[in-house]
Chain A
Amino acid sequence: MGIETTDDERGLSEAGVPPVRRIVVDGETPPVRVAHRIGNGASPGLDEPFAVEQDFEAVWVEERMRIESLGVRFGQKEAVKDVSLQVNSGEVLALIGPSGCGKTTLLRSLNKLVDLTPTAIRSGRILLDDEDTAYMDDTLLRKKVGMLFQQPNPFPMTIFDNVAYGLRERGSKRPGKKALEPIVVDALERAGLWDEVSDNLNHPALSLSGGQQQRLCIARSLAVRPEVLLLDEPCSALDPISTAIIEDTIVNLKDEIAIVIVTHNLQQAERIADKVAFMYLGDLVEYGPATQVFNAPMAERTKDYVRGDFG
């Protein structure tokens, strides 16, 4: 099976949008939905070659990222020690563990955000689609690996501009508002925010509620069509209702995008995760299907943690 990148036919790549990835088996397109759904049928002529296969049931799990003996240290302090993991599309991977166990550092290594800390030293390899991220351009990598933060952090601009932010490149060939509109609308729909903001796309993003802001941040990430989405405790600043909406959104997205979520909330991990990685003091203690980690953990530490003995 080979993976081939096909330029999508609608000229969106000219608009600064990365090309759509399709999975090709022996030169033939398998009966799977395209990695990125666009257009939602609202824009005539655009959605045809990208029609979503409705009768598709099984989840297509495919490796997106592979972490090979990753180590991260800040000066003398070892934050992550020799961690190997796999990040698959079609799955939600939850990183759990007590505070300071290295979950967030691991997460931030995946899009090289950890490199912004001057003292950070990384060892090991992280592969995105079999390509070593160490040799990838930071900005390119971060377009493919999106991230959502603990605090909702929309930029102080309009809702539309927030979502379009990642699509607007520097230079003379900046796409206009018209070219961006279908992408923005689609991203907002997939983030489950469209119905609430469709009438006021030009309102300032900071006027939205916390939960809406966080979904706007999801839309902002989705607009650049990432292959992987990293979530760093995305619901810790939100109320239960907003949390439930975000969780729904995450589960809906996992078919198309590999999702890694750091969470302190074990119930949340149980609700949405397919795979769980338990970390403790920088070590990966246990990694496996969620049901196994929560119901029949192999390591003693994991047992204690998921039972709530420490945390």
Chain B
Amino acid sequence: MISGAGKKRTRRVRKPRKKGAKGVWSIGDRIGLGIAWITGIFLCVVAFSVTIYLAVKGISYINLDVLTSRPEAGVEQSETGGFLDPMIGTVLLTVLGTAIAAPIGVGIAIWLTEYGRPASLARFVEAGVEMLVGAPSIALAIFGLLIFQTSFMAPFSFTAEGGAVFGRSFFAAGAIMSLIALPFVVGGTREALNSIPKHVREASFALGKDQASTIRRVLLPASRAGIATGTTLGMAQIIGETAVVVVLLGASLQLAPEGAIPVLDIFKGTGSTLTSYVYINSPAGEGKAPEKAYAAAFVLLLIVIALNVMVNQITKRGQHKWG
């Protein structure tokens, strides 16, 4: 209530000042405003040119054929097939990474905001999550390789005849991808939980509910939008990630299932995603099919934009106005 009243007051004070703004502002303020405008417009220009460039290039090369055919080895661009497998790979890896990151991330966020004791452990966990945000993904990928190459992890990894563990599979890449998505899930969930006023929790306690049912029946449903936002942002991170794919998923463009158990064999095998497909086919990689790389990059961009629109919709609709 107090903060609400304060907000209203500042708004009231601001309004009349805004009307006569031009006459009142000092030189320094006006220069600052100019710089803010220029940087803002510059950012818009860069963002739009990337999108438009990729759209123009991508649309001109995209067709039903590249979307529905598998990548093939070939010397000429016309022989290299499409990027059906990388699209499937992107979906599989995103689902796997999110499926691991979402429950763990929500759990961490709940523990941090609702329990958080001992405080030293909570700070340690917080620092760990922050470290994941800042860690270069290639470092995480190498770390993953280290773990999944051990013979202990053989059931989850692509293995060569004779028992050499490659440390590469959808499992390996998905596990490390979950670390990349994790901080976003934790962040989104924590933000939502923190926005719930203390007295709402107390109202539930005052009705004779314990902390567990309060979390399950009140706090989590109220945080749904925040959790969804965090998870979607995490998914966007996974979709856009390249280093982890190149290191941990293998460089085979086609899905290469491993083992005899259906479905599981795909996850144990190697493959590619749109990002690694773009990398490999662009002039930076082998460069055999640059036009298809553009088309794939365009598809990638569309997916990420769609996810961002989703995030906006979720946050817009899911906001509760607490008393």
Contacts and interface: CB of A to CB of B under 8 A. Distances in A.
Interface in B173-221: 197, 199-200, 202-210, 213, 217-218, 221
B202 A155 contact: no
A116 to B, nearest CB: 7
A149 B199 CA distance: 7
A297 interface: no
A153 B320 contact: no
B202 A224 contact: no
Contacts of B221: 155-157
Interface in B134-159: none
B1 A142 contact: no
Which of the listed residues A147, A230, A237 has the most CB atoms from chain B within 10 Å of its own CB?
A: A147
Which of the listed residues A141, A153, A170 has the most CB atoms from chain B within 10 Å of its own CB?
A: A153
A153 B208 contact: no
A139 B202 contact: no
A224 B208 contact: yes
B205 A155 contact: no
A139 B208 contact: yes
A152 B322 CA distance: 8
B19 interface: no
A236 B4 CA distance: 14
Contact of B205 (A140, A142, A157, A170): A142
Contact of A237 (B1, B203, B205, B210): B1
A146 B207 contact: yes
B6 interface: no
Interface residues of A, number: 33
Contact of B207 (A151, A152, A220, A237): A220
A142 B199 contact: no
Given A155-B200, A156-B222, A170-B213, A147 B323 contact: no
Contacts, number: 80
Given A153-B323, A157-B221, A165 B202 contact: no
B15 interface: no
Given A156-B222, A210-B323, A149 B205 contact: no
Interface in B286-305: none
A142 B208 contact: yes
A113 B209 CA distance: 12
A146 B206 contact: yes
A111 interface: yes
Interface in A185-214: 206, 210, 213
Nearest to B323: A151
A151 B208 contact: no
Which of the listed residues A113, A230, A236 has the most CB atoms from chain B within 10 Å of its own CB?
A: A113
A98 interface: no
A170 B215 CA distance: 13
Contacts of B218: 155-156, 165
B323 A165 contact: no
A109 interface: no
B229 to A, nearest CB: 16
A221 interface: yes
B7 interface: no
B59 to A, nearest CB: 43
B205 A113 contact: yes
Interface string B256-278: 00000000000000000000000
A149 B321 CA distance: 16
A153 B207 contact: no
Contacts of A142: 205-208
A150 interface: yes
Contacts of A81: none
Nearest to B4: A237
A142 B203 CA distance: 10
A21 B323 CA distance: 34
Nearest to A166: B207
Contacts of A230: 206
A197 B20 CA distance: 47
Given A155-B222, A157-B221, A237-B323, A166 B209 contact: yes
A139 B209 CA distance: 6
29 contacts: A111-B206, A113-B202, A113-B206, A116-B202, A142-B205, A142-B206, A146-B206, A146-B207, A149-B202, A150-B1, A151-B1, A151-B197, A151-B199, A153-B323, A155-B200, A155-B203, A155-B217, A155-B221, A155-B222, A156-B221, A156-B320, A165-B207, A166-B207, A166-B209, A210-B323, A224-B208, A236-B1, A237-B1, A237-B323
Given A156-B320, A166-B209, 11 more contacts: A147-B202, A151-B199, A151-B322, A151-B323, A152-B323, A153-B197, A153-B322, A156-B222, A170-B213, A221-B207, A230-B206
Question: Would you list the 9 A-B pairs with minimal beta carbon distance, nearest first?
Answer: A143-B208, A166-B207, A147-B206, A151-B323, A142-B208, A139-B208, A152-B323, A156-B222, A149-B199
Interface of A: 111, 113, 116, 138-143, 146-147, 149-153, 155-157, 165-166, 168, 170, 206, 210, 213, 217, 220-221, 224, 230, 236-237
Interface of B: 1, 197, 199-200, 202-210, 213, 217-218, 221-222, 320-323
